[in-house]
Chain A
Amino acid sequence: MHELSIAQNIVDIVLEHLPKEEHVSVRSVGLRLGAMAGVVPDSLEFCFGAITQGTKLQGAVLVIDHVPLTAHCNSCGTDGAIEPTLFACPACGGTSLAVLSGREMHVSDIEIAEGEEAR
């Protein structure tokens, strides 16, 4: 539902980073997406495709790097993947955890074509 607003934020960020030349197009956008970021990838890709029509991002592929939910256990020191539905250490069962990854929603990089290469 909020994927449209997320897609718009991604497009805004990408446009800020494009070189100013006329003939430039974006081939792909790299996105790091945590397992607990609350975003449905299919829905985001659909919205991204729709709002990039007629822009320098038209036809660009959203390349999503899925980041697992991982945490550090403050009891036994183990770092590892955990389930979003149970914040407990897989090694000792401890519940005092510091989340290491899984909430990311970052634009990492873009691949662009310039001059003759640009569509």
Chain B
Amino acid sequence: MSVITIERKVLEKNDELAGQNRALFARHGIFAINVVSSPGAGKTSLLERTLEHLAGRVPVAVIEGDVQTDIDAQRVAKYNVPAVQIVTAGGCHLEANLVRDALKNFDLSQVRLLIIENVGNLVCPSNYDLGEAMKVVVASTTEGDDKPLKYPSMFRNSSVLIINKIDLLPYVNCNIAALRANALGINPSLKVFETSCTSGAGIPEWTDWLISRALPPR
């Protein structure tokens, strides 16, 4: 019987590939975001609204991650932006190698903003770095105000929180001040936006901020 010391990170392979993706984004001056949420928080609707507002202002490309179907890529294709669908066929999150392969479908020299819509899941995607500049977590008012407390890791690892479906606040049991306080208690540096994809509220503020990050003043 003998003991062998190993000391290696379990996800080192993913982290290494994520590092390569990040270097690729840096080389092309691409601002990449990894959008995460539970299923049904409104990631794709938010993406559609975002693309409407970004049209003609910044060159965007989109990677869609889903367990099945290319429905989301079809929705996004209407906005005339390059979009690739990754079907994980059961996988609950995107990994760096899947993103690397998807990137081969784009002319990266023509992209300044890359939006990666992860599989709807508030647990697993927090462990897998894709090479993004930051994670954007979407929490909708219909999910209640305690989501950050239940999934602290995702809120801690994100840089932006979008509180979506604010038009439904009169009808749902969600205290938006408590939602903010719960999220900021876990991550005080979160940048928070409040949006409604139905009314369009908050979308201009969010997209202006995105542009300021993708096209910083020189």
Residues of A in contact with B (beta carbons under 8 Å apart): 1-2, 5-6, 9-10, 12-14, 17, 27, 31, 36-39, 84-88, 95-96, 105-114, 117
Q: Is the interface on chain B under 10, 10 to 19, 20 to 34, or 35 or more residues? A: 20 to 34
Q: B73-106 interface mask toward A, CB cutoff 8 Å, 1 = contact, 0 = none?
A: 0000000000000000001110100000000000
- Chain A CB within 8 A of B11 CB: yes
Contact A87 B9 (CB under 8 A): no
Contact A109 B1 (CB under 8 A): no
| Interface Cβ pair total, 8 Å cutoff | 95
Contact A85 B186 (CB under 8 A): yes
User: Contacts A9-B11, A38-B123, A105-B9 given; 11 further ones with Cβ under 8 A?
Assistant: A36-B152, A84-B156, A85-B152, A85-B185, A87-B156, A96-B188, A107-B8, A108-B5, A108-B7, A109-B5, A112-B1
Residues of B in contact with A (beta carbons under 8 Å apart): 1-14, 91-93, 95, 121, 123-124, 126-128, 148-149, 152-153, 156, 182, 185-188
**Given A85-B152, A87-B185, A87-B186, A1–B124 Cβ distance below 8 Å?**
yes
Q: Which of B9, B14, B186 contacts A86 (CB 8 A)?
A: B186
Chain B hits for A84, CB < 8 A: 152-153, 156, 186
